[in-house]
Amino acid sequence: MTTYRIHARSVAGSGATIDAAERVLPVDVAWDTDPTGDPGPAELLASAFAACLLKGLARAGAMMPFRYESAEVDVSLTREDLPPRFSAIDYELRIVTDEDERRGDLVHRNLRQFGTVYTTLAASCAVTGTLTLIPSAA
């Protein structure tokens, strides 16, 4: 088992920070005010999901091996008010690669099956997404 630890703090009427992986991340925890421009809890959750996909791709690149030049992902969360929860996550993952569709499908299945953040969130809400392979320029 692996344990991850972070430390977060806020000052009433001021900002908040999270200390994680030797970095200090500013976080928007303001209530009933204009956005600060820093990510809030929802953006951090979406970011963790995107990072899970990209880290899983890096793992697949090393283990399968799956060759790619770059990858981008867009994530959208749908929030309900009653009860307050995220009901859906949708993503679009784009990979620049010379790999064929069959290999792309295999990687996508691997990401959905073995991504820790992915599987955790998929257990609590609907997760849908697409993978698009973009031919390498070389």
Of 123, 126, 47, 35, give the one whose Cα is nearest residue 88. 126
pLDDT band for position 138 (50/70/90)?
A: low
- ∠ CA 82-33-30, nearest 5°, is 75
Mean per-residue pLDDT for 24-45? 91
Name the residue with tokens 């990687």.
Answer: 107
Residues 54 and 24 in one domain: no
Residues 81 and 126 in one domain: yes
Residues 34 and 47 in one domain: no
Residues 34 and 85 in one domain: no
* Mean pLDDT of the chain, nearest integer: 95
Residues 60 and 103 in one domain: yes
Residues 81 and 28 in one domain: no
Residue range(s) defining the domain that contains residue 105: 41-135
Domain count for the chain: 2
How crowded is residue 113: how many other Cβ atoms within 10 Å of its Cβ?
10
pLDDT per residue over 103-135, tens digit each? 999 999 999 999 999 999 999 999 999 999 999
Domain containing residue 45: CATH number = 3.30.300.20
Residues 80 and 23 in one domain: no
Residues 53 and 12 in one domain: no
The reported pTM is 0.94
Residues 24 and 74 in one domain: no
Residues 57 and 105 in one domain: yes
